[in-house]
Amino acid sequence: MASDTALLKGRIVAAHGRHFTVEMPDGHIRQCFPRGKKSGPAVGDLVLILAQGETEGVIERIEPRQNLLYRSDDMRTKQFAANVDQLLIVVAVEPAFSPDLIGRALVAAQSADIVPVIILNKADLVDGLAKARAQVQALAADYDPPIPVVTTNALDAEATLAALRPLLQDKHSLLLGQSGMGKSSLLNALVPQAQAATQEHSVALDAGRHTTTSTRLYHLPGGGAVIDSPGFQNFGLYHLSPGEIERGFPEFKKHAAQCRFYNCAHRREPGCGVLAAISRGDIRPERHELYLRILAENEAQGRY
């Protein structure tokens, strides 16, 4: 490995497979690859590279991270971004979004100490707005304080900017959501020069089609950055321990303090404070069911 004096520091601003675009402090862009078969860099990472010519380089080292958001299942691990201040989870009035998938993304954010914000997009579709808003508010209210919810209509760029700019100022924010939720339209409103591809969702399937194929960081006018990532249709959490999974359900915490056993798993143990809270209506049963599903999935894979 080259000596540190020969290395240049930059930030990864785009990733596609093992191809990484690194932005240098002076704004110069280099196309880089990790050395050998090493992988692991993510958009948002600060890296040390060995320059090759004027436009390329080799990633020698990843600097210590503030955090890393990723999902993992029995097929693969997918890194979304590193060094993120907040996660913008985009849902829409149409097509229908999955509360299960959104709940999993919230668990991942909680485990990585990333502040979540829910964006309810396509508010111009008034016929389904009340139902979608009720679903989102239920998810947001599980947290204390409740997760902020911002309603947007990406077709109205001016209103979208007014709603989102105060949240994004001087922060690195990750846009995340299922396909078809309008992430690319939101990005176009925030960063017009991005010219992100947009595509109408498939009404017949009531599901979106992937329009973002790589992850990319865009600088925002006035400071801050937003990272766009491909839409997803599954969100495994195989990398989380039982304790980290429980931490992703913060509404459990004060009730877990009342559990009879210090190592209570909140399944069927006698004297469980969490189960008692569910029976009283203090915790939504849907949240506990999600918690049990995640535990069961990880156990079935022999994760612990």
Q: Where are the domains of the chain?
A: 4-62, 68-228, 242-300
pLDDT at residue number 302: 75
pLDDT at residue number 157: 85
Kindly give, in sequence order, each residue whose CB lies less than 8 Å from that of residue 293, ignoring residues fewer than 6 positions away: 100
Q: How do residues 78-127 score in pLDDT, each as one tens digit?
A: 899 999 999 999 999 999 999 999 999 999 999 999 999 999 999 999 99
pLDDT at residue number 155: 80
pLDDT at residue number 225: 97
> Average of pLDDT values for 10-38?
91
Q: What is the CATH number of domain 4-62?
A: 2.40.50.140
Continuous segment of H or E residues that includes residue 287: helix 285-300
pLDDT at residue number 36: 74
Q: How do residues 135-178 score in pLDDT, each as one tens digit?
A: 999 999 999 889 999 999 978 888 998 999 999 999 999 999 99
Q: Under a CB-based contact definition with an 8 Å cutoff, are residues 101 and 140 in contact?
A: no
pLDDT at residue number 303: 67
> Average of pLDDT values for 123-134?
94
pLDDT at residue number 203: 40
Predicted confidence (pLDDT) at residue 296 exceeds the cutoff of 50: yes
> Average of pLDDT values for 270-287?
97
Supply the mean pLDDT for the chain: 89
pLDDT at residue number 2: 62
> Average of pLDDT values for 207-226?
76
Predicted confidence (pLDDT) at residue 207 exceeds the cutoff of 50: no
- Spelled out in words, what is the top-level CATH class assigned to the domain 68-228? alpha beta
Q: Does domain 242-300 have CATH number 1.10.40.50?
A: yes
Continuous segment of H or E residues that includes residue 294: helix 285-300
